[in-house]
Chain A
């Protein structure tokens, strides 16, 4: 369990920096687009697409950081006055949600029909070319399974903490 928690912490350290970097990239690409419009006779065509891709990566990596720092908004918070059994049941339900959502996302990113990897989301995007950049879409599409995978690793670590800790915080 300790190992998972360490992996999760290290991963978060890395992804935080990558996410911040993506947003800087997005800023730079849009700036190039604006500047190029007024000074270049042949403005680069890839600025819009690259900026969008930086946002997709940044936003999805940001989602992993949000999960790790428990920043995802919650509509209903339980009071501590509930019975121990109720709190235990609620904790289980809460822990069930992320894998139910992200499990299929991860699975179908990798596998297509008949568990054929070439026809999964990643396999399909490897065959498609980005509109202006000319490289395969898989470099961008990877953001989806990587974010899902990272959140599931953080989830395992939280599962470990909540299972071993005696009174987990509700947040």
Chain B
């Protein structure tokens, strides 16, 4: 039996990762394999699901990028700001320029295998509680909630500061002013109920909003050739379903955030150029080693 652990509500309209997991399960079932979907939370949070996958106790998990990143950091390159034009470009770099193969070579020691990148929605942008952000200069007096070192580095090149707040306390921190904003995909404030205090969104299109589908490498390697063929085909089918979902949903997600009372700002070409230029300074001093960063930069250039 193939257990597939979801990371989002069973909402085929709203959740791209649900679409991926469900399509994957359906394809396996249609081809005679036994698959069972588990609801979000029922098999534990991120770190636990990663651990179960690495032991072969859970076959497939919809997971965050950090799950693979904990074994090897190379995957974090998918989040380098402004490196890829869109998700197709990222897909080409992963598949045609060999990044996916290199990542899987490295994470195998952790007992996992990255099946696919799963799209969540349009690229991420800047949310805040205080004012419309039209230029880099507007960021100066906003204290941003930072996720990790690379975000702290990014905020520094933008001329502002970050602060570390655990995700569970972000609503409180935003309401009281401990933090003024964060970087996230467009749908996050709506999904997590933050639109009562998040008032401004800048569509800065920083990075593609993606997560991962990971599988147990024990399980995958132990499959018969026929079964592995089915699983590979299921991966292709699920990824296709996910990208089709994205194409259909992308524009609606910005409308939803508007409808929830968040003012949306679009960058002028000049303002965007400044964001791009400053952000690129962080490629070398984020979480990636310079060699790994170069792998990504080259892959991006060769698949433009």
Contact = CB atoms under 8 A, between A and B. Distances in A.
Contact of A124 (B51, B73, B164): B51
A125 B256 CA distance: 41
Interface string A32-47: 0100010011111101
Interface in A31-74: 33, 37, 40-45, 47-48
B163 A37 contact: yes
Given A37-B163, A128-B71, A45 B148 contact: yes
Contact of A128 (B110, B146, B165): B110
Q: How large is the interface on B (under 10, 10 to 19, 20 to 34, 35 or more residues)?
A: 20 to 34
A58 B178 CA distance: 27
A124 B55 contact: yes
A41 B66 CA distance: 26
Contacts of A45: 146, 148-149, 152, 164
A42 B162 CA distance: 7
B228 interface: no
Interface string B134-163: 000000000100101100100010000111
A47 B164 contact: yes
Given A41-B156, A43-B161, A48-B166, A128 B70 contact: yes
A127 B70 CA distance: 8
A42 B110 contact: no
B125 interface: no
Nearest to A137: B70
Given A43-B164, A45-B146, A37 B71 contact: no
Given A43-B162, A127-B71, 14 more contacts: A37-B163, A37-B178, A43-B152, A43-B161, A45-B146, A45-B164, A47-B164, A48-B164, A48-B166, A119-B111, A127-B110, A128-B71, A128-B110, A132-B149
